Amino acid sequence: MSEWISIKDELPKDASLGVHDSFPVLILTCVAYSGCERLGYDDNSVKITTWQNNRFLGFPAGATIVTHWMPLPELPRDEEQ
């Protein structure tokens, strides 16, 4: 599986064509009002979201901060098909 990537180091690849090139990613978030500077397990949440128009969808600025991301793993393949 992939390693977590800090948004300070790298963002997902360009996806500026709306739904035509958007893709799901796994993100690690921190609720700003709970003290993101300490970043303990109790303060973080792992979610699946969409990278679209070069932003993580569904997270208003200031309320939730995306700190890290990673590509989703590939789906398992059924060997009988």
pLDDT in tens, 13-56: 999 998 999 999 999 888 666 556 555 555 568 888 999 999 99
| pTM recorded for the entire structure | 0.74
pLDDT beyond 80 at 64: no
Q: Is residue 16 classed as helix, strand or coil in its secondary structure?
A: coil
pLDDT (average), residues 44-69: 83
Ramachandran quadrant class, 33 (left: phi over 0; alpha: psi -120 to 50; beta: rest): alpha
